[in-house]
Structure formats: structure tokens, C-alpha cells
Amino acid sequence: MIKKILSFEEILKGCVKNDNSCKEMMYKSFYGYLMGIILRYTKNPSDSEELVNDSFIKIFKHVGGFKAPKNPEELQRSFKGWIAQIASRTAIDKIRSNKIQFYVDDLAESEHPVSQVSIASELHVNDILNLLNHLPDTQRLVFNLYEIEGFNHDEIAKMLNIPESSSRVYLTRSKNKLRSLYLNTMVNSYEKNG
Amino acid sequence: MKKMDKELIEHITAQLQNHEEVYPDGAWERFSEKENKKRGITFWPLWTAAALILIFAGVFFTQNNNVQKKDFAKTKSKADHNIATETMDLSATPDNDEPSLKNGINKHAPTVNNPADHQPITTKENLPIFEQQQEYVVLNTSGALNPVNHNLLDHKLSGINLSDLKSKQFEILTEKKRPQPINNQTNFEKLLAQDSYANQQKPADKASGNSKWQPDVYVAPAMGNDNKVTMNYGFSLSYAIANKLSISSGVSYASISTTESLNASAPQTLSGKNLASVDAKVRGINIPLELKYNISDKLYTNVGVSALAVLNNSQQNSYIVNQVQSFSAPAVNGYADSKTMIVQEKKVEPQPEASIDPDKYIGFYNFSLGYKQKISKKNNIAIEPFLRLPMKTFSKENLNLTNGGLRLKIDF
């Protein structure tokens, strides 16, 4: 069998038609992207694939409802935005359902990230995720939503059912914590560059 | 410091926004398998329902047969009754008719007998009556209509009626004769039924007379969902705990094969490979514990569980892989046309030992329905279709070890 390399638009159409090979291609090409988003929210690596799969189930189910932008060049970018939203909503839902398990972890000295070789300009994603992993869940969530997803405090407050002021406090705390965590572990290498 | 803070957060944001993880092999397979599993679950009740229907149909059919036999006997006796009642009716109807006729006769009789009655009593008046009659005849010939004339006609009619009555009685007799051969038949059938009943009783008596242990050997070709025939051999021993109920156990060599197709399509990447199907073969020693119920002297059903101790377990995975092949063909104008194509290929690899299911025991539910036929005084041969349902799916590929087949058994 001779295969044709499909364009993104064709893959998208195939997914709407529930074509399995198109779904596979879609899954394989956006798995890493969604996993990148999911990892910002979850500490547990075994949960992350489940969350990615849950997101894909939602994506495949609702792909027919995705509205393509008028400009075809923006199609992929807008699709990525759409699936990113689905993934982050899925992750937030999961965190909400586990709310009872929320706890504030005090960072013990032995648990500090040990990647001392990194320098700030090349601060590796794994190091950043490591830093995020040391944030309490709510602080991490607010940081994610505000700094990375670009929501404002009003939206975050509605999303998480907390007062807007709390959202601000959480954000400030998360930044402070990240800063202190970073300073504790990597300040030397950073200051050399900075 | 402030600058550093800003940079740090900006850096984190930028890094995280642009970050993408690497796609790990097998993630799609796990995902699609999960989706398929959902469908698989819906198939499960179908299998069990089919098995239950088979068993219940078997039990119902055999019991229905017995009931039918009884019904037959009942309808026969009913038929007898019907015939009897019919004959009764027939005999009754003439009785009913007869009185009316007799009444008729009686009614007429005086008119008929009147002259006769008068005759012995008034023998002297004989002549005048004859004369009277003659007068009537004369009157008749004269053609005049008289009320007396009616009387004469009545006499004639009553005469006809009497002969009719006689012929009717004759008919009744012949009708009465007819049911007799039917009665004979039913008697004959009753005899036969009694005979067969006696026959039925005999082996049962014999069995109860013999020891309660019954050993048998069997060979059983079986087939799983991969349509490959595997052979099972075994020995079993059953112990009669009640008249119709016995408990049996034994040991058998069992071989089960199965296949699981994952509906994989060609990988979308050049280097990828997709798991298309898994074939597994499990061999082991099967130890059943079954309850056997004798529905009739020839039919029985088995329900039980068994544990399969796995001796050997091999698994083969077939993958679909992409290969890049280049073809070159000389074109008409002297140039060589070179084409590079992605070609799909199927590759079979044995599953590495480490990832083979480590389960040492597999549990099964067993259902079977058997038909037994005597071949000599002591020996029976039995044909027994069976179905083995695993208690859980096997290995991480969720292989379905459901299999069924035909057990050929010899009791001795």
C-alpha cells in the first residue's frame, strides 16, 4: 500500500469523519504538545497520560464543532489553541475533583532540585517543571492560568470558585516561592550570567 | 534583583509555553486499545448470554420432550375419553332419538295398533273394520280428500320411520365398531410405553446397583477465537451424590490458542511500527471441578469451574511497519524515473519472555451439554459440546481465552 502524506487540513477532515488513521496521526502529532500542557498542572506522571488521553477523547468527540478560522494559514495555530484549552480544562477538572488531596508541601532541604549546572538562559523545562512541582497545587494552578494561559484574575476566580483577591494572593505567593526556590538552588549560576 | 525576578518569570512562561514533550512509542496503541476495550466489554455479555441461551435451550428442549411424552399419553387418554364420549353420544343420540321415535311410534302405534288391538279384542269386529278400510280405499280411488286419508298416510310414514330406525341402529353398530381398533392401538402404545419405562428403569437400577464412581477418558478438539483447532486430552472421575446429580473432577492436558486484532492501520511516521495483532498459545494442565446433572438417561449437563496451570505460554506479535523503497524505471525519453515510496509491511516478532503474562494459573467457567450412547454393557460413549469462559482476560493485551469444542468421551 502506498501512502500519501496528508496535510493538516485533510487530517482534520478525517478526524471529523472518524477515520482511524487520521485520528492516529492527529494523536501522534499533538501528543507532545498536550503533554507539555498537562505536565504544568499535574505532579503525578502516571496521571498525565490519562489526562492527555481524556483530552483526546474530548477532542475527537467534539472535533466536528471546531470552527476553522477564515485564514487557512492560521488553521493549525487556532486548532492548537482550541485543544490546549480542552487539555487545560481537563486538567483543572481533575485537580478540582481531587481537591481534598490539596496539601501544602514544605520543601525539605534534601528535596531541592539538584540541577546546578543549568544556567538561567538555558534553564531547562525539566528544571522549571521541577520547580513547579514544589509549589502548592492552588498556587501552581493560579500561576499557570495567569502567567502561561493568560487568564485574568477575574476569570481565574470564577473558574476556581475563589475570591478574586485570593487569586492575586496565590499568584504573588507562587512567584515568591518560585523565586526563593530558584535562588536557593540556582542563584549562583544565574547571577553569573545576569 | 527585580530584573532577575521579571526575567525568571518571563523565562519560565516562555519556556513552558513553547514546551512540547516527546511522543513515547505505544501511546497511541494504549489509547486506541482503551477505546476498543470499551467496545470489548459490550461484547462480553453477548458471549455469556449466548452460552446461557444454549444451556437453557438444551435443558428446556429435553424437559419439553419429556413433557411432550406425557402430553402424548395424556392426549391419548383424552382421545380415548373423547372416543368414549363420542360413542356415548352416539349411543345416547339413538337413545334420544329412539324415545322420540318410540314416542312417535307410540303416538302412531295406537293408530296402527288400534286396529290390531281391536283385532284380538274384537275379532268379531274384524270384518267391519276391513270393510271400513276397504271403504276408505274405495273412497281413495274415488279421489275425494278425507281426514281419514291422512290417517292412512300416517300409518305408511310410521312404517317408514320404523325401518329408518332399524337402519340407524345398524349404522350405530358399525360406528361403535370403529373406535375399537383405536382403543387397541392405545393399548398397544401403552404396552410399548410400559416397556420403554421398564427399560428406562433398568439402567438406572443398574447404575445405582453399580459403584457410584464412574471414570472416563476423553479427547476434545477445541477452537478459540482464532479458528485454530487445538487438542485437549483428559481423564475424569465422577461420583454420584444423588440419583441424577454427580460431582466430577479430573485432570487434562489443555491447549488454548487465541488471537487479538487491534485494528491497527499503517503507522503515520516513517520509522514507526504499529501492533496489529497478538497471537497467543497457552498449554497447561487443567483441573476441573464440575457438577453433572442427568437430564434423562441419555442427556446430561455439566457446570463447573476449572483451574489451568500454565506450562507453556507463547505469544507472537505482528506489527505493521513502514519501509521506504525506491523504484526506478526507464522512461520513454531515455531518462530513468525514480520513485521513492512508502511500503507497508507486516512483521511478526515473538513476544520477549519478560513481557509475557506471568500468571501461573488461569480460571475458567465450564459449561457443557452431553449426549450419551450405550455401546456395550459397561461402556458408554458420549458427545459433549462445551464452552470454556475465562474468569478474566489474559495478559496485558487483554487476550480473550474463550474457547469451545466437542468432547468425545468413553465411560468404562
Whether B304 has a pLDDT exceeding 50, the answer reads: yes
| Contact criterion met (CB < 8 Å) for A190 and B4 | yes
Whether B118 has a pLDDT exceeding 50, the answer reads: no
Range with lowest mean pLDDT among A5-9, A24-28, B154-158, B185-189: B154-158
A39 contacts chain B (CB < 8 A): yes
Three-state DSSP state, B398: coil
Three-state DSSP state, A194: coil
Eight-class DSSP state of B399: B
Whether B406 has a pLDDT exceeding 70, the answer reads: yes
Average of per-residue pLDDT across B286-308:
90
Per-residue confidence at A194, pLDDT binned at 50, 70, 90? Answer: very low
B270 contacts chain A (CB < 8 A): no
Q: Which of B13, B23, B344 sits opposite A32 (nearest CB)?
A: B23
C-alpha cell at B346: 507486516
Range with lowest mean pLDDT among A96-110, B215-229, B305-319: A96-110
Range with lowest mean pLDDT among A100-114, A117-131, B241-255, B273-287: A100-114
pLDDT value of position B219: 92
Burial B46-71 (b: 16+ CB within 10 A, else e): eeeeebeebbeebeeebeeeeeeeee
pLDDT value of position A64: 85
pLDDT tens readout for residues A156-190: 888 888 888 888 999 988 888 888 888 777 655 54
Average of per-residue pLDDT across B43-53:
71
CB A177 within 8 A of CB A135: yes
Cα B195 from chain centroid (whole Å) = 28
pLDDT value of position B285: 92
pLDDT value of position B145: 47
Whether B64 has a pLDDT exceeding 60, the answer reads: yes
d(CA B262, CA B29): 8
Average of per-residue pLDDT across A146-161:
87
Per-residue confidence at A100, pLDDT binned at 50, 70, 90? Answer: very low
Whether B303 has a pLDDT exceeding 90, the answer reads: yes
In the chain, the amino acid numbered B195 is D
| Helix, strand, coil percentages in chain B from 3-state DSSP, rounded to 5 | 50, 35, 15
pLDDT tens readout for residues B365-388: 999 999 988 888 888 899 999 999
Average of per-residue pLDDT across B239-255:
89
Whether B188 has a pLDDT exceeding 50, the answer reads: yes
d(CA B334, CA B311): 64
Residues of B in contact with A57 (CB under 8 A): 35
| Contact criterion met (CB < 8 Å) for B21 and A31 | yes
Average of per-residue pLDDT across B360-364:
86
Average of per-residue pLDDT across A41-48:
79
Whether B39 has a pLDDT exceeding 70, the answer reads: no
Q: Which of B12, B19, B28 sits opposite A28 (nearest CB)?
A: B28
Furthest-apart CA atoms within chain A: distance in Å: 61
C-alpha cell at B378: 459397561
Average of per-residue pLDDT across B73-96:
47
CB neighbourhood size of B276 (10 A): 19
A8 contacts chain B (CB < 8 A): no
Burial A37-53 (b: 16+ CB within 10 A, else e): bbbbbbeeeebbbebbb
pLDDT tens readout for residues A2-27: 555 678 888 888 888 888 888 888 88
d(CA A85, CA A30): 13
Give how far B31 is from chain A: nearest CA, Å.
6
pLDDT value of position A131: 83
Highest mean pLDDT among A74-88, A174-188, B77-91, B113-127: A74-88
Higher pLDDT, B153 or B221: B221
Give how far A41 is from chain B: nearest CA, Å.
11
Q: Which of A39, A125, A179 sits opposite B15 (nearest CB)?
A: A125
Tell which A residues from 16 to 35 touch B, by Cβ distance under 8 Å: 20-21, 24-25, 27-28, 31-33, 35
CB neighbourhood size of B255 (10 A): 20
List Cα–Cα distances, B217 to B106, B214, B237, B250, in angstroms: 85, 10, 9, 9
Average of per-residue pLDDT across B29-41:
70
Whether A138 has a pLDDT exceeding 60, the answer reads: yes
pLDDT value of position B197: 66
List Cα–Cα distances, B263 to A24, A69, B274, B278, in angstroms: 12, 34, 10, 11
Q: What is the mean pLDDT of chain A?
A: 77
pLDDT value of position B317: 84
| Contact criterion met (CB < 8 Å) for B17 and A57 | no
Q: What is the mean pLDDT of chain B?
A: 70
pLDDT value of position B268: 65
ipTM value > 0.85: no
Tell which B residues from 9 to 48 touch A, by Cβ distance under 8 Å: 9, 11-13, 15-17, 19-23, 27-28, 30-32, 34-35
d(CA A139, CA A174): 5
Range with lowest mean pLDDT among A184-188, B223-227, B332-336: A184-188
